[in-house]
Structure 1
Amino acid sequence: MSKPLPAEAVRARSLLSATAREGRARLSRPILLGLASIACGLAQAWFMSHLLATLLGYGQSGWPDFAAAAALALLAIALGIAQERAQAAAGAAARAGLRRRAFARLLAAGPADHRPAGERAALVVDRVEALDGYFARWLPAAALAAAGPLLIAIVVAFEDPLSGLILFVAGALVPVGMALTGIGAALASRRQFDALQHLSGRFLDRMRGLPQLVLFRRQEAEAQALGAAADELRRRTMKVLRVAFLSGLTLEVIAAAVLGCLAWRHGNMLVGGHPDPQAALFCLLMVPGFFAPLRAFSAAYHERMAAQGAAAALAPLLQEPAAGETGLQLAEIPPSVVVTFEHVSLTYDPARGPALADLSFRVTPGEALVLAGPSGSGKSSVLRLLMGFQRPDAGRLALNGRDATTLRPEELRRLTAYVGQKAHLFRDTIRENIRLARPEATAPEVEAAARAAQVADFAAALPQGLDTLVGEGGFGLSGGQAQRVAIARAFLRNAPLVLLDEPTVHLDPGTEVQVLDSLRRLCAGRTAIIATHSPALRARFNRVLELEQGRAVTSRMAGE
């Protein structure tokens, strides 16, 4: 994979910076707690140096100094625990905000987002999760790595200027060493997340298509392909870990060199020639405290690299204008809609030719237009345009005589009630699955929609009627019953435009007849456009438009 473009890196840094500014209040808490912990460490080292100097025969100290050092040690532990909790809270808040925004963008895009479901899931789960370390550990560690060692070096310089200078120089060398070892870390992390996203997407898509893989005897080949993708992820992950270990080794080498310099500087204390043994002990005791924030900084360094790789994938989704953020809003839903297509053209991929080409028709309130034709003839594309998931490349799409493309896509969806090929039911009661179409609907309105769609007929035989719990995907209901729940949603939505996409394709003839009666009542008095192959459905409505390769071939009334 090629090196990330500078524009991608700029967008990633911009996203991370903007998110950090939004959570500044939460991020400041672990930093302040960390500084307080460092101050406790300084005071504790001062008391400990007095105690050690007394043990070596220099100066006088007693139980009060010991009690003070013990109390400060307990306080430092408490501050450390509070800091970890504050860091976790800051990371969780940042992740929740980013995940909410990413999910909202994916919902706004809807079917217009052509990424596989596995990749979209990896975006809102794995990519956002990878940013936790950046906000929970890296940002506090970076602030404390700048302020903490500086504070310690200044205090040490008051005790011994040369020791303070040594610490200053060592502090300046740490970021240089980490920068040298961190070359290529961001690219390694980006490749690791690309491999993870590829594996996640492939696994989810293959699990969904498992029956087809078994049917065509492709299970062994797919198992090998998944194994190869998993091995690629393992290799990418080990490369990232090698960078993290190398940066940690660089820090330990610098720390050992500083400790050696200070030990040599104050070594004559052991033979009784040091002018201030307590100050010498204090300087030596503060070496671990000086490098503790830098160690946390080094440990979190790979979090920053990983976050840049994850943010580079999230930034295009979160920073580009959402499809629903531009356009006009409706003051109110009109009671009726006239749909007009005038020479509309639409192309998804130039290599595959146009999906719609110079298509024109008009549908008035109380009229139902059946779109017929082979698969790929453009029926679903017409519905996608009317729901705002695509914009025409040419021509004019009008609602009540006004250009529909000036409206926000979400406003187009407010005008429509949609029933697709297979209704998705969530794990909830039948009543709440119907209420999904209009959450503010009252109980009588939901029951009226259920009666209109003949849901009440089969619900009466269930243990709790409309309050019967169904499983995810409609588990517990037949295909025809689930489709009637979808039709009840359309009744409850009570929109002026009804869009039906193969609503009876998976039903047996007996169930299809029952569903057709409900659909006929649903379309009565509304503007309806129906995409179907079903001869029975075509016979129920009086206007049929035949499509072929995106063009209108014939238009006829039923019976002609």
Structure 2
Amino acid sequence: MDSPSAARDDAARALLRRESRALRRQVGLPILLGLGGLLAAMAGAWLVARLLAGLLGHGEAGWASLAMAAGLALLGAGLTLAQERAQLAAGEAARARLRDAAFARLLEHAPADPTGIGERVSLVVDRIEALDGYFARWIPAAALAMVGPVLVCAALAWADPGSGAILAVAGLLYPVAMALTGIGAAQASRRQFEALGRLSGRFLDRMRGLPTLVLFNRQEAEAAALGKAAAALRQHTMKVLRVAFLSGTALELLSAGVLACLAWRHRSLLTDGGDPTAALFSLLLVPAFFAPLRGFAAAYQDRLHAAGAATALAPLLAGETGQGLLLAELPPRVTVTFTEVRLSYDPARPPALDGLSFRASAGETLVLAGASGAGKSSALRILMGFVRPEAGRVAINGQDAMALCPAELRRLSAYVGQHPHLFRATLRENIRLARPEATPAQVEAAARAAHVLDFAEALPQGLDTLVGEGGWGLSGGQAQRVALARAFLRDRPLVLLDEPTAHLDPGTEALVIDSLQRLCIGRTAIIASHSGARARLGRVLEIAGGRVAGAARAAEG
């Protein structure tokens, strides 16, 4: 049986191969440009060798050859510049493709993802950024390192077989040196990225809870803990850099040895006065021979970074996203039915839902009531496509809801949570998030229906007032009304509300309940609530232990 480490390595290699195939056109262009530049350098070296031999009295050193050599030098410089730009484009294409896929998968997992927000940010930013060099530099460098030295050896063997053999031996020794210096490098890089992820997650988590740390006088201890995590990251990073330095040293030693061998081979030219063209050509080709290998060595660290980053990304990107049926059109009304639905988050803990059954008819408001942990929010998570039940059936209009793509489930509904998140933007932009194509009149109508205008009109810029990150500057009740305005603007047949009146003062609660009642008119609404005002919202169904605890009660007048 494969070890977990081997399985992670296989998944990482599969991810890199899959993305390499998808980006073969973008990655192939730098390779072709690099080969063109290498051929231009080889031709230029031959012309320069002939020119130098002519200056020494062997052959002719004409202006035409000099002009051709200069033209090839300019061509090589242009191809090198074009190669660098193509590499940048390949890296940008890889980052865009991977970030789209990773972000879509994170949105699909959403609250069901157990990893911390810091680690998720690190995945989408740091890990994908580390993969840029793999596609922009490593793949072109690896291809050129395999093809380029062979072309140089073939050209030199045509001019001087002995010199070609010396270069061939050096080319065979270089992979051995790389293997010796690279033992354990992938593991070191993986540990480096694990340390980076832990540091990023801890830092972001502590920054978000900074007021709590200050109140409990824990800032010094947390600063020390962050320092230890940063020191661990430094140690792992230095181990990876050591590999890059060792591989570069091995390459320079080989290059110096080749020059020494070629100089020793052609030493007789100083005494017998023979034609030095082949000897000069062999010496001038040494930089061209080692240039692809030098690029390979420089990009080797990119490969190590990519191996560590891909190990972390592979579990997130494994499999296919968006599996399921798509809706041809949104139904105007929906009926929701749960039949013996079971759901567990952890096998060691009791199930969140243990045979829950209920029916919410089209246009009905159903309140799922019960203590915290009764299973109310879990039922809403299923309807939002964030989790899937282990057993039982969830039906919408009589059809299996779990056969739909999770994104289609979310397209059916409007959701208002207990702690709505407001982004750093204007009130208008925060409301329009529910339907970006909405007109200003529709946004204002939704704000009026949710009683947002009651407090927005007193602000200096009304709905165009800037709101701080997380809703800073607004009270909890005001933020809840903005969330309700989003639900009005979204205008979906299914409304899901999770504790919409929790932690509100009586006056604000009355406004929110008034808005909720208007929002639920003509729509199927399922509300998770333990508030005392729940009986005013609709039919109440008591839940305990993940199942129905008693008969449903009709709404009070």
- After TM superposition, the score normalised by the length of structure 2 is 0.94
Is residue 55–residue 61 contact of structure 2 (8 Å, CA) maintained in 1?
Answer: no
Equivalent residue letter for 1:102: A
| Displacement after TM superposition at 1:200 (Å) | 0.8
Task: Tell whether 2:486 aligns with 1:500.
Answer: no
The answer (yes or no) to whether the contact 1:122–1:197 under 8 Å persists in 2 is yes
Give the Cα separation in 1 of the matches to 2:355 and 2:215. Answer: 41
Seen in structure 2, the aligned counterparts of structure 1 residues 501 and 49 have a Cα distance that, compared at 3 Å, is same
How far has the Cα of 1:5 moved from its partner?
Answer: 3.1
Task: Find out whether 1:289 has 2:288 as its counterpart.
Answer: yes
What's the offset of the Cα at 1:330? 2.2
Match of 1:363 in 2: 360
User: In the alignment, which residue of structure 1 is the partner of 2:253?
Assistant: 253
Distance 2:285 2:399 in 1: 75
Correspondences of 1:52-201 after superposition (within 5 Å): 52-61=52-61, 63-201=63-201
Structure-2 separation of matches of 1:474 and 1:423: 8
> Post-superposition shift, 1:54?
4.4
SS at structure 2 position matched to 1:350: coil
**Counterpart residue identity of residue 399, structure 1:** I
**Structure 2 counterparts to residues 273-422 of structure 1, below 5 A:** 273=272, 275-322=274-321, 324-325=322-323, 327-422=324-419
Measured in 2, the distance between the counterparts of 1:4 and 1:120 equals 21
DSSP-derived class of the 1:5 partner: helix
Contact 1:4 1:187 in 2 (8 A): no
CA distance in 1, matches of 2:211, 2:543: 33
Q: Displacement of 1:193 after TM fit?
A: 0.7
Could you tell me whether the CA contact under 8 Å between 1:53 and 1:277 is conserved in 2? yes
Question: In the aligned structure 2, how far is the partner of 1:168 from the partner of 1:72?
Answer: 25
Letter in 1 for 2:282: C
* 8 Å contact kept, 1:337–1:527: yes
* Deviation of the 1:557 alpha carbon: 4.0
Distance 1:37 1:4, change over 3 A: farther
> What percentage of residue pairs aligned between the two structures are identical?
67
Matched-pair contact (CA < 8 Å) for 2:58–2:275 = no
- What SS does the corresponding residue of 2:268 show, helix, strand or coil? helix
The residue matched to 2:269 in structure 1 has which SS? helix
Can you list the C-alpha shifts for 1:198-249, whole angstroms capped at 9, x where unaligned?
Answer: 1111111121122222233332332222111111111111111111112222
TM-aligned CA deviation for residue 55 of structure 1: 4.7
Cα displacement (A) at 1:262: 0.8
Whether the 8 Å contact between 1:266 and 1:274 is mirrored in structure 2 is: no
Partner secondary structure for residue 93 of structure 2: helix
- Partner Cα separation in structure 2 for residue 12 and residue 275 of structure 1: 56
1:235–1:479 Cα change, 3 Å? same
**Count of paired positions:** 555
Match of 2:463 in 1: 466
Equivalent residues of 1:504, 1:515 under 8 A apart = yes
Amino acid at match of 2:312: A
Question: Cα RMSD between the aligned structures?
Answer: 2.3
> Runs of 5+ in structure 1 lacking a partner?
none
Which range moved further: 249-258 or 234-243? Answer: 249-258
Partner of 1:432: 429
Q: Deviations over 1:58-108 (max 9, x none)?
A: 444255544443443333223222211111111111111111111111112
Q: Quick one: which amino acid aligns to residue 345 of structure 2?
A: Y
Whether 1:549 and 2:508 are equivalent positions in the alignment is no
- Structure 2: 5+ residue stretches without partners: none
After superposition, the Cα gap between the structure-2 partners of 1:86 and 1:518, relative to the gap in structure 1 and judged at 3 Å, is same
Deviation at 1:56, TM superposition (A): 4.3
Indicate whether 1:479 and 2:476 are aligned: yes
Q: Deviations over 1:443-484 (max 9, x none)?
A: 433332222112233333344443444343334443323221
The letter for the 1-side match of 2:265 is R
Aligned residue number for residue 534 of structure 2: 538
Match for residue 8 of structure 2? 8
CA contact 1:3–1:187 (8 Å) conserved in 2:
no
1:472 & 1:534 partners in 2: Cα distance?
28
- TM superposition shift of 1:558: 5.3
Q: Distance in 2 between matches of 1:260 and 1:527?
A: 84
TM-score normalised to structure 1 length: 0.93
The aligned amino acid for 2:319 is E
- Structure 1 residue 387: Cα displacement: 1.1
Please name the residue that 2:34 is paired with.
Answer: 34
Letter in 2 for 1:277: P
- What one-letter code is carried by the residue in structure 2 that aligns with 1:492? L
**Conserved? CA contact 1:369–1:530, under 8 Å:** yes
1:345 touches 1:395 (CA, 8 Å); kept in 2? yes
Secondary structure of the residue aligned to 2:549 is strand
1:455 aligns with 2:452: yes
- CA distance in 1 between partners of 2:375 and 2:196 (Å): 35
Deviations 1:257-296 (A, max 9, x none): 211111110011122x253212111111111211111111
Query: Which moves more between the two structures, 189-198 or 547-556?
Result: 547-556
